[in-house]
Amino acid sequence: MQKLIHHSVLCLTALLVLNGCGKKDHGDDQPDQIYEVTQGNFNIIISANGTLDAIKRYNIEAPPIAKRGLDIIEAVDNQTPLKKGDQIVLFSDEKYIEHLEDQEIRIEEGEKNLMLHEQDYQMKIADIVSLIKKATDAHRASLEALEKYVNEDAPLQKKDLQKDVEVARKNVKDEKRDLAQLKENLLSASMGDEGARLGIEGQIEDSKEKMENLENAEERQIYDLRIFKQYTFPQNSRILQQTVVKAEMDLQKQLVNATAQRVQLERKIYAQKRTLKTLRKQRSDLIENMGMLTVTAPVDGVISYGDPNPRRRHQQQKEIVVGASLQPSELIGSIPDLSRLVVTLDIPETTRSKVDVGMRSEMRIKALPNLRMSGEVSKIADMASHLNFWDRTSPKIYPTVILIYETDPALRPGMSVEVDMVSEEIRNVIFVPVEALYAKEGTIFCRVRKRMGPEEREVRIGRSSSSFVEILEGLEPGEKVLLSREGL
């Protein structure tokens, strides 16, 4: 309890200091002001100064172009009323046109190179097809030669050799039969005349000689047949098979070479197409960028050059005039949406605990003293920031936004606003104005009006605002207190 009383005394002392210790500067002949103590309601108000702003702003930025430069050649005046689509700033396209001409030349050269690559591809493919056809024909011919020899020529040759052997054997057999007959005739003739005998003997000698020749011929035919079977046919078959294998290898080699050359040629064409695609994309981007050199209003409104952030407006802003140069995406200004307004203000760190989202607020516009507006706290920053963001020693504040319920055609962003936020509604309590109290030796007193003169009375206080203080003990409703201390 002692701590609470001490805290209340300190708070009241601070209030009294801010309010001139309860004195009214009326001069010595000015009578004390009288206040009748009542029981009722009063609000704890947190006052602050803010700035009127639009709830939404359409930021206007320089186009996000990185290479060509952004030199202003036309610009409307600041605070110019605009319709949606009206030109705000026009940047020079001179450098872009030069670059576009260079790009067209590069594209033309790229198209010629692509055409040459495609023609070279067609010719090389024709050569490859010819070589593959030649290798295929050679392979087919070798297979046909092998099949013809194995299935036709060799069997026919073997059959002819076998027939020759059979003929030779038949000739030998016939000659043996004829020789045997001559020998029988000789035996018969030996008993006859000598002339017949001598003639048969001559025929026998001729037959023997012929028999020898026929037997030699038979041996040659049998030898030729054996040579064919053991040597000629296997060797010729092997040679023809080797020819087939060689033809297959040549064909595979041509196919592999064809694939490698085709892939290489296609890669050249693909690379050239990609290069051409890139050049065309760059041209398209360049044309698109040139279209972005005209910055227009996204909505109806009034253009306001500079940073729309009220905490940064004191900084030097780049002047948006003919001849100025901007960086890509650099902020030009903004067009506020005046259909809904807010008040932006900074809540000191010491006051943050007394302000909550949804808190009712009453506002006065300094430029329009007869206009009163109401609203509520809609947003409070989660983290504190420095009042001067470049100065780490400056006081910490919480940027706060108050949503205004009403609007008025005379309101404009940037107007100064006095804000009273209702932190707490104190109901059914005894209270007096701050000017009725004063502190002395750590105790709170007031002066109560009596018939015999003012009576100094100690009071115990409770909650307070910048105007009123709750009285817990020491005063009753209906008593009158003095609001100044002259003569004490």
Bigger pLDDT: 484 vs 307: 307
pLDDT averaged over every residue in the chain: 85
- The answer to whether the CB of 460 falls within 8 A of the CB of 471 is yes
* Helix/strand/coil (H/E/C) assignment for every residue in 74-136: EECCCCCEECCCCEEEEECCHHHHHHHHHHHHHHHHHHHHHHHHHHHHHHHHHHHHHHHHHHH
pLDDT attached to residue 114: 93
Average pLDDT over residues 338-344: 86
Please report which helix (H) or strand (E) contains residue 289, including its range. Answer: helix 233-291
pLDDT attached to residue 3: 42
Query: CA separation (Å) from 187 to 52, 173, 193, 221?
Result: 161, 21, 12, 35
424 pLDDT exceeds 90? Answer: no
25 pLDDT exceeds 60? Answer: no
Q: Taking the complete model, does pTM exceed 0.85, yes or no?
A: no
- The answer to whether the CB of 9 falls within 8 A of the CB of 439 is yes
Percent of the chain whose predicted confidence (pLDDT) is above 90 = 51
User: Among the listed ranges 186-190, 222-226, 254-258, 337-341, which one has the minimum average pLDDT value?
Assistant: 186-190
Rg of the chain taking only CA atoms, in angstroms: 61
153 pLDDT exceeds 70? Answer: yes
Using one digit for the tens of pLDDT, what is the confidence trace for 159-204? 999 999 999 999 999 988 988 888 887 777 655 567 777 887 888 8
- The answer to whether the CB of 423 falls within 8 A of the CB of 45 is yes
pLDDT attached to residue 351: 85
Please report which helix (H) or strand (E) contains residue 284, including its range. Answer: helix 233-291
- The answer to whether the CB of 480 falls within 8 A of the CB of 31 is no
Average pLDDT over residues 259-279: 93
Average pLDDT over residues 321-336: 90
d(CA 377, CA 62): 34
Query: CA separation (Å) from 312 to 75, 221, 387, 389?
Result: 23, 120, 11, 9
Which fold, 96-290?
A: Helix Hairpins (1.10.287)
User: Among the listed ranges 103-107, 197-201, 221-225, 267-271, which one has the minimum average pLDDT value?
Assistant: 197-201
Note the CATH architecture for domain 2-56+337-482. Beta Barrel (2.40)
Average pLDDT over residues 36-57: 88
DSSP-derived secondary structure letter, 313: T
Q: Where along the chain do the CATH 1.10.287 domains lie?
A: 96-290
DSSP-derived secondary structure letter, 400: E
- List of long-range contacts for 215-221, beta carbons under 8 Å, 24+ apart: 215/172, 217/168, 217/171, 218/165, 218/168, 218/169, 218/171, 218/172, 220/168, 221/161, 221/164, 221/165, 221/167, 221/168
Average pLDDT over residues 22-49: 70
d(CA 17, CA 441): 15
Please report which helix (H) or strand (E) contains residue 485, including its range. Answer: none
SS3 content of the chain, % helix, strand, coil (to 5): 45, 30, 25
Average pLDDT over residues 143-154: 92
- The answer to whether the CB of 421 falls within 8 A of the CB of 53 is no
Average pLDDT over residues 90-104: 90
488 pLDDT exceeds 60? Answer: no
Residues 6 or more apart in contact with residue 339 via CB below 8 angstroms: 407
Q: Where along the chain do the CATH 2.40.30.170 domains lie?
A: 2-56+337-482
Q: What band does 28 get if pLDDT is binned at 50, 70 and 90? A: very low
pLDDT attached to residue 67: 62
d(CA 118, CA 128): 15
- 471: number of CA atoms within 13 Å, CB side? 25
- The answer to whether the CB of 488 falls within 8 A of the CB of 447 is yes
pLDDT attached to residue 204: 84
pLDDT attached to residue 20: 40
pLDDT attached to residue 32: 59
Residues 6 or more apart in contact with residue 412 via CB below 8 angstroms: 52
Neighbours of 212 (CB within 10 A): 12
Using one digit for the tens of pLDDT, what is the confidence trace for 6-22? 444 444 444 444 344 33
Average pLDDT over residues 455-469: 90
pLDDT attached to residue 43: 87
pLDDT attached to residue 486: 45
d(CA 57, CA 308): 8
Q: What band does 141 get if pLDDT is binned at 50, 70 and 90? A: very high
Q: Distance of alpha carbon 46 from its chain centroid, rounded?
A: 47
pLDDT attached to residue 315: 54
Helices 233-291 and 154-189, packing angle to 10 deg: 170
Helices (H) then strands (E): counts for the chain: 5, 23
Using one digit for the tens of pLDDT, what is the confidence trace for 360-404? 999 999 989 889 999 999 999 999 888 877 778 888 999 999 999
247 pLDDT exceeds 90? Answer: yes
End-to-end CA distance of the chain: 30
d(CA 432, CA 480): 10
- Shortest CA distance to 335 belongs to which of 64, 52, 53? 53
